[in-house]
Chain A
Amino acid sequence: MSEYRKKEPKGVLLDHISKIYQDPKTGKDFFAVNDVTLEMKPGSFVTLLGPSGCGKTTTLRMIAGFESPDRGEIYLGGQPINQLPPNKRDTAMVFQSYALFPHYNVFDNVAYGLKLRKIPRAEIHERVTRILGLVELTGMETRMTNQLSGGQQQRVALARALVVEPGVLLFDEPLSNLDAKLRVQMRTEIRRIQQILGITAVYVTHDQSEAMSISDQIILMRQGVIAQMGTPMEIYYHPNSEFVADFIGECNFLRGVVRDVRGDQVMVEVNGHIVTAAYGKDVMAGDECEIVVRPEAISIAREGLLPCRVELSCFMGSYQNYHVRVGDTLVKIADNCPVNKEIFGEGSEAFISFDKNCAHLL
């Protein structure tokens, strides 16, 4: 607990949640969210990530109470909350469009929730002032919301949600209306504030780098179901499917045949060459498999694991971008800090190699 909060954060449990919608074109029912079960620990930062239409926002809105689940039960701090309307739930949401009240100034926007709770004036003033300090908006109290920049509006929205000390804080793509630089700045800010307050946060985004940088846990969703959940690093280096691997950053897939399994290492034959990969799933010698390697985990040199032919070589500033052909497979390479390295031109022959811990079996 910190000086900003007197309440314990609450955990969220989704117990076999489904939501069914009707397709407006065909009139057929479909699962927007399909049998999702997951637990969010008190004080953790959980991100629901996925392409549009994957059910992440629907899930968030069910936690807030704007949508009702067709199956399953939602628990907040151990209590079932299905029956509660949004205004009776201990949640506060930061909206994509900020949803600031245009007829109130900054102070009144932030104080709105406290006034509803009939908190004495003096305390409202004190809490609003403190929270505005936390989001670095001190001195802006009397501004109208349309006199603020996008980033400042975002901070007001955040302050308004934080000041009521909700059991869980909900974010619905809060940064999607900001420009790229501000987005990076604000996500660091959100993470910093969440850490200071120790609050539970559920965050919806379709931006994988945002999810990576901000979360304790990522829930990757696809077509209403959970594709994978885990820490950012687990999801990045050990994706459990091609979809996950591809959605989280760029990825190379090398086809091969398992030759040998030794402890947590697998020997795979790719184009007649043996490469070593980390053990990803149960395989036996003779199985066909795919190795997943990130572009920045591959190095290119005169000698190495697999021979290749360079098809594209392009200087990108922080790295040299290669597209090389290994057998029939196109492999993308991001060779970092190319300044003192040999640059391979288009059409030249070379070898690629990668660390076995960066290669993961699918």
Chain B
Amino acid sequence: MARGQGAALDRKKLLADPIMMTTIILMITFLTLFILYPLAILLVDSLYGSNGVSLETFRRIFAMRNFREAIGNTLKVGFVVGILSTLIGLLFAYVEVYVRMHRFVGGLFRLVSMLPVVSPPFVLSLSMIMLFGRSGLITRFLFGIQNNNVYGYWGIVTVQTLTFFPVCYMMLKGLLKNIDPSMEEASRDMGASRWKVFTTVTLPLLLPGLGNAFLVTFIESIADFANPMIIGGSYDTLATTIYLQITGAMDKEGAAAMAVVLLCITLAMFAVQKYYLERKTAATLTGKASRARMLIEDRSVSYPLTVLCSLVALFVIMMYICVPIGALFPAWGYKFTPLTFKWFEQVFTRYRGLQAFRDSFVLSLIASPITALLSMIISYLVVKRKFRAKGFIEAVSILAMAVPGTVLGVGYIRGFANGLFHTGILSGLYGTGLILIIVFVVRSLPTGTRSGISALRQIDRSIEESAYDMGANSLKVFTSVTLPLIKDSFLSGLVTAFVRSITAISAVILLVTPSYLLITVQINEFAEKGGFSIACAFASILILITYGSVLLMNLFIKFFGTSRNMREAARNE
């Protein structure tokens, strides 16, 4: 059947809409230039050398023993961290959704889910070394163990698990809440014990979700750069190997090929997660729970579970608290009294802290509104409009989620240091603050787009259609109807982008030039050199900034945000 006319008319209506056309073209250009192109150039560079197309570079890197080891290490760490995080996340989610908790425990849970969001990715490595390392507070001064070695495999696994399990916890919590309690009650009613209900009803329903959580953590672990860098010691993962290949061995072709390998691994994981597990999760758990769940009040169940979770939570919180406290001791591991502010002072007097904070702050401040706006526009296009390139825009912005920062960093070096395709075009970009801003934007774009898409899906299509029908053009519809309705989501996208940018390290560490000082890069340097007190001082101020901006956002939403009633009114019936 010929559908030509309808499609042609749709296209004509789109072409008659210059604002929409310009936006779409701009989006496609941005995504192609700053996400697709740097990744493509990696592949091209590693395949195409001075003597034509060959697998020479790949042969060379696979011949390196440390690279082969790094692949094994990365997968091993990722696998173990994935399993552990999923299990701890499941425990937390189960206790939160199923067990009647004391208010205090609820507060602990919230804090635990909040801390990794507002802190730079590597603070746990810092506190791990400070608490359990050679001169660790706990190992040496509590138990008298000298020379405890936290560096290496177990260090990375512990730190990454503690950093990533809150993500699993939040994901699984959402899923557990969607399980209709009447299914479990039916099973209970037919004589199943609580444990039996869990293993025969809850767990099978949750299985795809668990797989999903596992893979998400797996990808995060593989892509993590800062923790293996600080606590890995001689135990190298792919991300750190690539970094050392560039900064140490100055082998950019080799690093590009390694980046391709890393990218392939994460993309494969991501493909499974996105197209297989996520769909399955949605299929088994649809809709909302019809009724509130009867919480478990049986003390023989609730006490051990709550106590276990609280201990884990307290441990994690203690590790975070260790950072600001560490900055107050005169010399960590040697002299604990009197408490002093000298490290905080030195941040600004000796270590150019003011410049570092200003650079990080200003660059992130510029990047975050751009990110928030771009992700809203992309999600608007994806959810509300139909046009041919829509699939491309959606795919690329989601794909960016699976790209490790290190890979992106190498891609930018290869792609922009000598201009586009090494021709010198746009070469002025490299080494500027602008490219750092672009990296910040690209790194936060996927999360922003994802939350934007889910916010927009909640707005009934006919609300925008009616504005359109009344005579509003697409820009007017977006500014007068769509944007006011997703104001909250826009604001939180703004702050998330800011927090992510100011705490980012993996990509920018490869791109930053001496003219810019970034806090995270500074902290990383101090931590590597063993200057833990000064690193802690830097990190504490950073956490203060990020936590402050999140608080500010919540206040702002409370007073100026869309009211809850209104959001419900906008929802599909």
List chain A positions with a Cβ less than 8 A from chain B.
19-20, 29, 31, 64-71, 82-89, 91-93, 95-97, 99-103, 112-113, 116-117, 144-146, 157, 160, 164, 177
Tell me whether A87 and B472 are in contact (CB under 8 A).
Answer: yes
- Residue numbers in B under 8 Å from A146 (CB-CB): 565-566, 568-569
- Complexed CA–CA distance, A29 and B7 (Å): 14
* A164 in contact with B5 given A68-B10, A83-B13, A85-B17 (CB within 8 Å): no
B461 and chain A: residue at smallest CB distance: A99
B306 to chain A, nearest CB (A): 39
Tell me whether A96 and B462 are in contact (CB under 8 A).
Answer: yes
Tell me whether A86 and B465 are in contact (CB under 8 A).
Answer: yes
- Residue numbers in A under 8 Å from B567 (CB-CB): 102
List residues 440-491 of chain B with CB under 8 A from any CB of chain A: 460, 462-463, 465-473, 476, 480-481, 484-485
B483 and chain A: residue at smallest CB distance: A103
- Complexed CA–CA distance, A89 and B566 (Å): 29
- Complexed CA–CA distance, A20 and B12 (Å): 18
B14 and chain A: residue at smallest CB distance: A85
B347 to chain A, nearest CB (A): 45
- Residue numbers in B under 8 Å from A102 (CB-CB): 463, 485, 566-567, 569-570
- Complexed CA–CA distance, A145 and B563 (Å): 13
- Residue numbers in A under 8 Å from B465 (CB-CB): 64, 66, 86, 93, 95, 99
In the A-B complex, the 3 residue pairs with the closest CB atoms: A68-B9, A113-B470, A70-B6
Other 15 A-B pairs with CB < 8 A, given A66-B468, A83-B9: A20-B6, A65-B469, A70-B1, A82-B9, A85-B468, A86-B465, A86-B469, A87-B473, A97-B460, A99-B463, A102-B485, A102-B566, A103-B484, A103-B562, A146-B568
Tell me whether A85 and B13 are in contact (CB under 8 A).
Answer: yes
B16 within 8 A of A: yes
- Residue numbers in B under 8 Å from A157 (CB-CB): 466
- Complexed CA–CA distance, A145 and B467 (Å): 16
- Complexed CA–CA distance, A288 and B573 (Å): 49
Partner of B5 from A68, A85, A100, A117 at Cβ < 8 Å: A68
- Residue numbers in B under 8 Å from A100 (CB-CB): 463, 569
Partner of B3 from A29, A87, A92, A96 at Cβ < 8 Å: A29
Tell me whether A68 and B13 are in contact (CB under 8 A).
Answer: yes
Tell me whether A177 and B471 are in contact (CB under 8 A).
Answer: no
B480 to chain A, nearest CB (A): 8
- Complexed CA–CA distance, A163 and B180 (Å): 46
- Residue numbers in A under 8 Å from B566 (CB-CB): 102-103, 144, 146
- Complexed CA–CA distance, A93 and B484 (Å): 22
Tell me whether A70 and B13 are in contact (CB under 8 A).
Answer: no
Tell me whether B6 and A116 are in contact (CB under 8 A).
Answer: no
Tell me whether B463 and A69 are in contact (CB under 8 A).
Answer: no
List residues 1-31 of chain B with CB under 8 A from any CB of chain A: 1-10, 12-13, 16-17
Can you spell out 25 A-B residue pairs with CB atoms less than 8 angstroms apart? Answer: A20-B3, A20-B6, A68-B7, A68-B9, A68-B10, A69-B9, A70-B4, A71-B2, A82-B9, A84-B13, A85-B16, A85-B468, A87-B472, A93-B469, A95-B465, A99-B460, A101-B481, A102-B566, A103-B562, A112-B472, A117-B471, A144-B566, A146-B569, A160-B470, A164-B471
- Residue numbers in A under 8 Å from B460 (CB-CB): 97, 99
- Residue numbers in A under 8 Å from B9 (CB-CB): 68-69, 82-83
- Complexed CA–CA distance, A251 and B3 (Å): 39
* A70 in contact with B3 given A93-B466, A102-B485, A144-B566 (CB within 8 Å): yes
B7 to chain A, nearest CB (A): 8
B476 and chain A: residue at smallest CB distance: A116
* A177 in contact with B573 given A83-B12, A95-B462, A103-B562 (CB within 8 Å): yes
- Complexed CA–CA distance, A86 and B464 (Å): 11
- Complexed CA–CA distance, A247 and B462 (Å): 29
Tell me whether A19 and B6 are in contact (CB under 8 A).
Answer: yes
Tell me whether A92 and B569 are in contact (CB under 8 A).
Answer: no
- Complexed CA–CA distance, A113 and B481 (Å): 13
Tell me whether B6 and A164 are in contact (CB under 8 A).
Answer: no
- Residue numbers in A under 8 Å from B470 (CB-CB): 87, 92, 112-113, 116, 160, 164
B562 and chain A: residue at smallest CB distance: A103
- Complexed CA–CA distance, A87 and B467 (Å): 8
A90 and chain B: residue at smallest CB distance: B471
- Complexed CA–CA distance, A92 and B470 (Å): 6
Most buried by A among B2, B470, B476: B470
- Complexed CA–CA distance, A297 and B568 (Å): 48
A21 to chain B, nearest CB (A): 9
Tell me whether B573 and A101 are in contact (CB under 8 A).
Answer: no
- Complexed CA–CA distance, A145 and B521 (Å): 51
A257 to chain B, nearest CB (A): 43
Tell me whether B469 and A87 are in contact (CB under 8 A).
Answer: yes
A147 and chain B: residue at smallest CB distance: B565
Tell me whether B13 and A92 are in contact (CB under 8 A).
Answer: no
- Complexed CA–CA distance, A70 and B468 (Å): 22
- Complexed CA–CA distance, A68 and B468 (Å): 15
Tell me whether B469 and A91 are in contact (CB under 8 A).
Answer: yes
- Complexed CA–CA distance, A93 and B465 (Å): 9
B573 and chain A: residue at smallest CB distance: A97
- Residue numbers in B under 8 Å from A145 (CB-CB): 569
* A112 in contact with B1 given A68-B10, A70-B6, A101-B481 (CB within 8 Å): no
- Residue numbers in B under 8 Å from A68 (CB-CB): 5-10, 13
Most buried by B among A29, A95, A144, A157: A95
- Complexed CA–CA distance, A149 and B185 (Å): 37
Tell me whether A99 and B466 are in contact (CB under 8 A).
Answer: yes
- Complexed CA–CA distance, A93 and B573 (Å): 19
A42 to chain B, nearest CB (A): 20
A112 and chain B: residue at smallest CB distance: B470
- Residue numbers in B under 8 Å from A31 (CB-CB): 1
Most buried by A among B7, B13, B476, B485: B13
- Complexed CA–CA distance, A100 and B565 (Å): 13
Partner of A71 from B5, B13, B469, B572 at Cβ < 8 Å: B5
A87 to chain B, nearest CB (A): 5
Partner of A99 from B1, B462, B565 at Cβ < 8 Å: B462
- Complexed CA–CA distance, A64 and B462 (Å): 12
- Complexed CA–CA distance, A123 and B545 (Å): 51
- Complexed CA–CA distance, A78 and B235 (Å): 78
Tell me whether A95 and B473 are in contact (CB under 8 A).
Answer: no
- Residue numbers in A under 8 Å from B468 (CB-CB): 66, 85-87
- Complexed CA–CA distance, A89 and B469 (Å): 8
- Complexed CA–CA distance, A19 and B9 (Å): 12
- Residue numbers in A under 8 Å from B476 (CB-CB): 116
Tell me whether A92 and B562 are in contact (CB under 8 A).
Answer: no
Tell me whether A103 and B462 are in contact (CB under 8 A).
Answer: no
- Residue numbers in B under 8 Å from A71 (CB-CB): 2, 5
- Complexed CA–CA distance, A65 and B465 (Å): 10
- Residue numbers in A under 8 Å from B16 (CB-CB): 83, 85
- Residue numbers in A under 8 Å from B13 (CB-CB): 65, 68, 83-85
- Residue numbers in B under 8 Å from A84 (CB-CB): 13
A312 to chain B, nearest CB (A): 37
B470 to chain A, nearest CB (A): 4
B3 to chain A, nearest CB (A): 5
